[in-house]
Structure 1
Amino acid sequence: DLSNGVTTKQLTATTDPKGASVSWSSSDKDVATVSPKGVVTPRKAGKATITAKSGTKTSSITVTVTGQLPPDPVAKNTVYASKPSGWGKIYAYVYTGDGATAKNNAAWPGVEMTAPSTTDGCGETGLYKYAVPDDLASGAKVIFNDGGSQQYPGSRQPGLDYNGGIVKWDGSSAALAAVECTIPVPVTSVSISGDGVSGGKLS
Structure 2
Amino acid sequence: MARYAQGHKEESRARLVDALGRGFRKQGYGGSGVDGLAREAGVTHGAFYGHFRSKAEAFAAAVVAGLQDLRQGVESLRAEHGKNWLGVFAAFYMGYKRTCELGDACTLPSLSAEIERADLAARTAYEGELQRVMAAVAAGLPEGTQAEREARAWVLLSLLAGGVTLARAVPDQATGEQIAAAVQQAVKMLGGEGEGEGEGEGEGE
**Under TM normalisation by the shorter chain, which class is it?**
under 0.3
Which of structures 1 and 2 has the larger relative contact order (alpha carbons within 8 angstroms, sep 6+)? Answer: 1
Larger radius of gyration: 1
Q: TM-score, normalization: structure 1?
A: 0.24
Q: TM-score, normalization: structure 2?
A: 0.24
